[in-house]
A and B are shown apart, each in its own frame.
Chain A
Amino acid sequence: METIRRLPVFAILLLVVLTSACSDLNSNETINEPDLMKIGEFTDNDVTVIAYTDRPLEVGYNDIWFEVHEDGAPIENLHFHFNTMMDMEHHSHASPYGEPGHHRDDEYNLYHGWAIFTMPSGDMGTWELQLTIHDQAHTGFEANGIIEIDVEPSNRVKTFMTEDESRYVLTLVGPKAPSVGMNELIVALHKRESMMNFPPVLNANMEFEPWMPSMDHGSSNNVSPVHEENGFYIGQVNFNMTGDWELRFDLEIDGVEIDQQAFEIDF
Chain B
Amino acid sequence: MKFRNAILITLLLLSLPAAVMSSNLNEIIKGVVKHAHTGESIPGVHVQSEHGTSGTITDKNGLFELQIEEADSYLTVSHIGFSGKRIPLSEVCSCHGKLEIALVPVQFRGEELLITADRNQMQHSGIYGSSKTRSVEDHMSGISGLDMVTRANMAKDPVIRGLRDGRVNVLIDGMRLTPACVDGMDPATAYVETDNLQSIEIGRGFENGTGKQTAPGGSVNFSMVRPSLNSGFRASAETGYQSVSRQQFYQGSLSHGEENWAFRLSGTFRDAGDLQPGGGGRIDGSGFRKGNVMASVLYEASPSHRFNLRYIGDFAGKIGYPSMIMDTRRADAHIGGLEHAWSNPFTGVHSITTNLYINRVEHWMDDYDRDVGDREVMRNMYMPMYGETVTSGFTSELSASRSDHLFNLSLEGFRIDAFADMVMEHTDPSVRDMYLVNLGDVVQQNLIFSGSHTWFAGSGWTFATNIRGEAGMNRLNNESARATYRAEYNGEIELEPTALAYQVGIKAKNEISSRLSAGFSLSSGTRIPDHMERYGYYIYQPLDGFFYIGNPELTPERSTQAELFTRLGSDQSRVSGSLSLWVNQMDNYIAGLRADDLFKRMQNMGRATLKGFEVDASVRLSDRWRGSGSIAYVLGTHQELEEPLPMIPPFKGHISLQRVSESVQLEGRFRWAASQNRIAEENSLETETGGYALLDLFAQVPLNRSVTMQIGMENMLNTFYIEHLSVNSMPAPGRNVNLSIQINL
Q: Which residues of A contact B (CB under 8 A)?
A: 179-182, 212, 214-215, 217, 219-221, 238-244, 266
Offer 15 A-B interface pairs, CB within 8 angstroms, sorted by A.
A179-B480, A179-B483, A180-B483, A180-B484, A181-B480, A181-B486, A182-B483, A212-B434, A220-B599, A240-B484, A240-B537, A240-B538, A241-B435, A241-B436, A242-B433
- Find chain B residues with CB under 8 A from A180 CB: 437, 480, 483-484
Give the shortest distance, in Å, between B743 (CB) and chain A (any CB): 54
Q: Which of B12-20, B424-432, B709-717 contacts A (4 or more CB under 8 A)?
A: B424-432
Note all chain A residues with C-beta closer than 8 A to B426: 214
A78 to chain B, nearest CB (A): 40
Query: Measured between C-beta atoms, what is the minimum distance from A214 to chain B in Å?
Result: 5
Contact A242 B434 (CB under 8 A): yes
Residue pair A181, B431 in contact (C-beta under 8 Å): no
Chain A: CB-nearest residue to B377: A216
Measured CA separation A220–B537 after assembly (Å) = 13
Chain B residues 339-390 with CB under 8 Å of chain A are 378, 380-381
Contacting pair B488 A243 (CB below 8 A): no
Evaluate whether A181 and B484 lie within 8 angstroms (CB atoms) in the complex, with A221-B490, A243-B424 already known: yes
Question: In the complex, A212 Cα to B486 Cα: how many Å?
Answer: 20
Given A215-B424, A241-B538: A182 and B435 within 8 A (CB)?
no
- Indicate which residue in B381, B434, B486 contacts A241 across the interface (CB closer than 8 Å): B434
B434 touches A215 (CB 8 A): yes
Q: Which residue of B lies closest to A220 (CB)?
A: B488
- What separation, in Å, do the CA atoms of A182 and B491 have in the docked complex? 8
Q: Does residue B235 face the partner (Cβ distance < 8 Å to A)? A: no
- Of B380, B381, B487, B538, which contacts A182 at CB under 8 A? B487
Known A238-B488, A242-B434, A243-B434: A181·B378 in contact at CB below 8 Å: no
Known: A214-B428, A241-B435, A243-B433. 7 other contacts (CB 8 A): A180-B483, A181-B480, A181-B486, A215-B378, A215-B434, A221-B488, A241-B434
Q: Please, how many angstroms separate the alpha-carbon atoms of A220 and B489 in the complex? A: 9
Contact of B488 among A179, A240, A242, A266 (CB under 8 A): A240
A217 touches B598 (CB 8 A): yes
Interface check B595, CB cutoff 8 A: yes
Q: How far is it, in angstroms, between the C-alpha of A109 and the C-alpha of B538 when the chains are bound? A: 45
Give CA–CA (A212, B436) in the complex, Å.
13
The 8 closest A-B pairs by CB, nearest first: A181-B483, A243-B434, A182-B487, A241-B436, A238-B487, A242-B435, A181-B487, A180-B480
Residue contact A182 to B486, C-beta cutoff 8 Å: yes
Report the bound CA distance from A212 to B484 in whole Å: 16
> Within 8 Å CB of A214, what residues of B?
380-381, 424, 426, 428, 431, 434
Cβ–Cβ < 8 Å partners of A179 in chain B: 480, 483
Residue ID in chain B nearest A238 by CB atoms: B487
In Å, the complex CA distance between A181 and B481 comes to 8
Q: What residues of chain A lie closer than 8 Å to B432, measured between beta carbons?
A: 242-244, 266
Complex CA–CA separation, A234 to B727 (angstroms):
45
Q: B426, B428, B484: which has the most chain A beta carbons within 10 Å?
A: B484
CA distance A206 to B30 in the complex (A): 89
- Please give, as numbers and ranges, the residues of chain B lying within 8 Å of A217 by CB-CB distance: 598-599
CB of B691, distance to nearest CB on chain A (Å) = 38
* CB proximity of B249 to chain A, nearest CB, Å: 41
Inter-chain contacts of B483 with A (CB < 8 A): 179-182
Q: How far is the CB of A108 from chain B (nearest CB, A)?
A: 28
Contact call A221/B433, Cβ cutoff below 8 A: no
Chain A min CB distance to B230 (Å):
60
Interface centre among A214, A220, A238 (most CB of B within 10 A): A214
Nearest B-chain residue to A219, judged by Cβ: B487
Chain B residue with minimal CB distance to A239? Answer: B487
Interface hits, B482-498 → A, CB 8 Å: 482-484, 486-491
Complex interface: chain B residues within 8 A of A220 (CB): 487-488, 595, 599
Task: For the complex, give the distance between the alpha carbons of A181 and B476 in Å.
Answer: 14
Q: List residues of chain B with CB within 8 A of the CB of A239.
A: 487
Query: Who on chain A is nearest to B478 by CB?
Result: A180
- In Å, the complex CA distance between A221 and B595 comes to 12
**Nearest CB of chain A from residue B367's CB, rounded to whole Å:** 15
Inter-chain contact B487/A240, CB cutoff 8 Å: yes
Binary contact readout B401-439 vs A (1 if CB under 8 angstroms, 0 otherwise):
000000000000000000000001010100111111100
Given contacts A240-B436, A243-B432, A244-B432, contact A215 B484 (CB under 8 A): no
Q: How far is the CB of B475 from chain A (nearest CB, A)?
A: 17
CA distance A215 to B425 in the complex (A): 11
Report chain B residues within 8 Å CB of A221: 487-490
Minimal beta-carbon separation of B426 from chain A (angstroms): 5
B13 to chain A, nearest CB (A): 52
How far apart are B478's CB and chain A's nearest CB, in angstroms? 10
In the assembled complex, which residues on chain A have CB atoms less than 8 Å from the CB atom of B484? 180-181, 240
- Return the chain A residue nearest B380 by Cβ: A214
Nearest CB of chain A from residue B429's CB, rounded to whole Å: 12
Smallest CB separation, A267 vs chain B (Å): 8
| List of A residues within 8 angstroms of B424 by Cβ | 214-215, 241, 243
In whole angstroms, how far apart are the Cα atoms of A219 and B538 in the complex?
Answer: 11
Question: Which B residue sits closest to A179, measured CB to CB?
Answer: B483
Q: Which residues of A contact B491 (CB under 8 A)?
A: 182
Q: In the assembled complex, which residues on chain A have CB atoms less than 8 Å from the CB atom of B381?
A: 214-215
Complex CA–CA separation, A238 to B486 (angstroms): 10
Q: Which residue of B lies closest to A237 (CB)?
A: B487
Distance in angstroms between the alpha carbons of A243 and B489 in the assembled complex: 21
B648 to chain A, nearest CB (A): 30
Q: Give CA–CA (A240, B486) in the complex, Å.
A: 10
Report chain A residues within 8 Å CB of B599.
217, 220
Contact call A244/B488, Cβ cutoff below 8 A: no
Question: Which residue on B lies nearest to A240, using beta carbons?
Answer: B484
Task: Give every chain B residue within 8 A of A266 (Cβ-Cβ).
Answer: 432
A181, A219, A238, A244: the one within 8 Å of B434 (CB): A244
- Chain A minimum-CB-distance residue to B490: A221
Which residues of chain B are within 8 angstroms of A242 by Cβ–Cβ distance? 432-436
Give min CB distance, B697 to chain A, whole Å: 50
Cα(A164)–Cα(B434), bound, Å:
40
CB-CB under 8 A from A240, the residues of chain B are 436, 484, 487-488, 537-538
Flag B531-571 by CB within 8 Å of A: 1 or 0 each: 00000011000000000000000000000000000000000
Instruction: Report the bound CA distance from A241 to B433 in whole Å.
Output: 10
Q: Please give the distance in Å from B210's CB to the nearest CB on chain A.
A: 44
Shortest C-beta distance, B487 to chain A (Å), equals 4
Which residues of the partner chain B approach A244 to less than 8 Å between Cβ atoms? 431-432, 434
Q: Give Cα A214 to B383, complex, Å.
A: 13
CA distance A241 to B537 in the complex (A): 10
Q: How far is the CA of A241 from the CA of B383 in the complex (A)?
A: 13
How far apart sit A220 and B549, CA to CA, in the bound complex (Å)? 11
Q: How far apart are the CA atoms of A212 and B434 in the complex, in Å?
A: 10
Bound-state CA distance A243–B595 (Å) is 23
Nearest CB of chain A from residue B614's CB, rounded to whole Å: 43
- CB-based nearest B residue for A267: B432
Per-residue contact bits, chain B 585-600, to A (CB 8 Å; 1 contact, 0 not): 0000000000100110
Instruction: Give chain A residues whose Cβ lies under 8 Å from the Cβ of B431.
Output: 214, 244
Cα separation A122 to B81 with both chains bound (whole Å): 85
- In the complex, the chain A residue whose C-beta lies closest to that of B597 is A217
Give CA–CA (A244, B599) in the complex, Å. 20
- Expressed in whole angstroms, the Cα–Cα distance for A76 and B317 within the complex equals 72
Q: Which A residues touch B435, using CB under 8 A?
A: 241-243
Hey, which chain A residues are within 8 Å of B489, CB to CB?
A: 221
CB distance from A211 to the nearest CB of B (A): 12
When C-beta atoms are compared, the residue in chain A nearest to B480 turns out to be A180
Interface centre among B437, B483, B491 (most CB of A within 10 A): B483
Nearest-CB distance from B360 to chain A (Å)?
A: 27
Roughly how many angstroms separate A211 CA and B432 CA in the complex, as a whole number?
Answer: 15
Distance (whole angstroms) from the CB of A185 to the closest CB of chain B: 12
List A contacts of B480 (CB < 8 A).
179-181
Closest CB-CB distance, A228 to chain B, in whole Å? 19
In the assembled complex, how far is the CB of residue B347 from the closest CB belonging to chain A, in whole angstroms?
60
In Å, the complex CA distance between A219 and B428 comes to 23
